[in-house]
Amino acid sequence: MRGKRVLLGITGGIAAYKIAFLIRILKKSGAEVKCILTPASSDFISPLVLSTLSENPVGIQFWNKEDGTWNNHVEYGLWADIFVVAPLTANSLSKMANGSSDNLLLATYLSMKTKTLVAPAMDLDMYAHPTTKRNLDVLIEDGVGIIPVESGELASGLSGEGRMAEPETIHQVIQNYFDAQLEAEFKGKKVLVTAGPTFESIDPVRFIGNHSSGKMGYRIAEELLSRGAHVILVSGPTKEELEHDNLTLIPIKTAIEMLKAVQLHWNNCSYGIFSAAVADYRPKSIADQKIKKNDDELSIELIKNPDILKWAGDTKSSDQLLVGFALETNHLLENGKKKLAKKNLNLIVLNTLEDKGAGFGVDTNKISILDNHNNLVEFELKSKKEVASDIVSHLKMYISK
């Protein structure tokens, strides 16, 4: 939930005290949290507890009597990635079902741009009442997600259906919502990814290779798969492993083999992310037998490998998008710009071995992304998993523009 904005709406039921725990786990999983309360709910949980845990001011009234500042319900609606009303009392439920807006929470519900989830909490008879059922049906029809009540001991001393779902359950439902949203991002899209090094044979036992581990490309493939894409991963020799129903893994050794695989699939793909460290040169001829060490010197004639990314850029249709990488030891931006233009890319991921923790073999990387409108975004040093998420999110943003 890193960076996700969760707006919690708290209404006046005894289960409100459990929201402190919900905030703890939401914060632990990386979410930003803000709380808005109905006036009645502050009798059940102190706003100070909520603001301390959420690290944000708490909204109760439309305006603050002390300093006259305005709590803007429209801004809350724009801020949130999800609105979760928990606990939801029978009273607030009926108001939500009927479009009342006589407090900040209700006005915010009507201003929501995104999904609202509710976790009802009430005594068993209130919960079983036909009015409650009818109001819940109205919310469902209006697109609100209901987090089912649980059965058990109730504050009244009675036992039955009506307990608010536990904070862990509510957290899981929120997580599932964000996961499903992510999965929808690239649903139905095929993405071609190249990863790892290429090995260019010298003779039957030797080759020219490089230090690429394939980690970056595999993390990108994983990220795309988690966002619903079908990934065609053309991979040079690597220790990385990946299995998924939506993955077509094509292991290759040489640049020529990588080119052939790319040529076979690029046409059918919407996007390409080429992270492979392709050898620029290969031996002109491969010796049939192991080369003997007879002489003090050995010369191997090299010829240029095809530029696979350039081929994809040259053949790219107007609705295909292509992302390349540039690993430079100097003049990173200048060379990146040139490469982006020469290879007809939409985005180029720039990195340099000069940054500590960036580059081959290590689990971290520090990148900047340049687009073909000259916009540059720089990122912090992060794990390759997080870098992959940044790259895929950036591509998604570029697509949606």
**Cα separation of 157 and 171, whole Å?**
27
Considering beta carbons, is residue 38 or 254 the nearer one to ligand C5P? 254
Task: Tell me the C-alpha distance between 177 and 173, whole Å.
Answer: 6
Q: What is the DSSP string of 200-246?
A: EESSSS-EE-----SHHHHHHHHHHHHTT-EEEEEE-S-S-----TT
Instruction: Round to whole Å and give the CA distance between 176 and 117.
Output: 12
* Interaction between residue 92 and ligand C5P (CB under 6 A): no
Residue number with CB closer to ligand C5P (194 or 389): 194
Per-residue string for binding with ligand C5P, 121-150, x by CB under 6 A? ------------------------------
| Of the candidate residues 8, 325, 340, 347, the single one contacting ligand C5P (CB under 6 A) | 325
Catalytic residue among 56, 72, 91, 210: 210
Whether the CB-CB separation of 37 and 59 falls below 8 Å is answered with yes
Burial profile 331-348: b = 16 or more Cβ within 10 angstroms, e = fewer? ebeebbbebbeebbbbbb
Q: Counting contacts by CB under 6 A, is residue 326 touching ligand C5P?
A: yes
- Tokens (6 digits) for 161: 């259906």
Q: Quickly list H helices, 242-284.
A: 255-265
37 binds ligand C5P (CB under 6 A): no
Considering only residues 76, 218, 274, 398, which one is a binding residue for ligand C5P as defined by CB under 6 A? 274
Residue in 157, 172, 164, 86 with CA at minimum distance from that of residue 127:
164
Q: What is the rounded CA–CA span in Å between residue 292 and residue 241?
A: 35
Q: Among residues 50 and 232, whose Cβ is nearest to ligand C5P?
A: 232
- 7 or 279: CB nearest ligand C5P: 279
210 has catalytic annotation: yes
Q: How far is the CB of 203 from ligand C5P (least distance, A)?
A: 22
Using the rule CB under 6 A, is 308 a contact of ligand C5P? yes
Stretch of residues binding ligand C5P (CB under 6 A), selected from 62-70, 143-151, 170-178, 305-313: 305-313
Q: Does 11 bind ligand C5P (CB under 6 A)?
A: no
Binding site for ligand C5P (CB under 6 A): 194, 255, 274-276, 278, 280, 305, 307-309, 324-326, 339
- Positions annotated as catalytic residues are 210
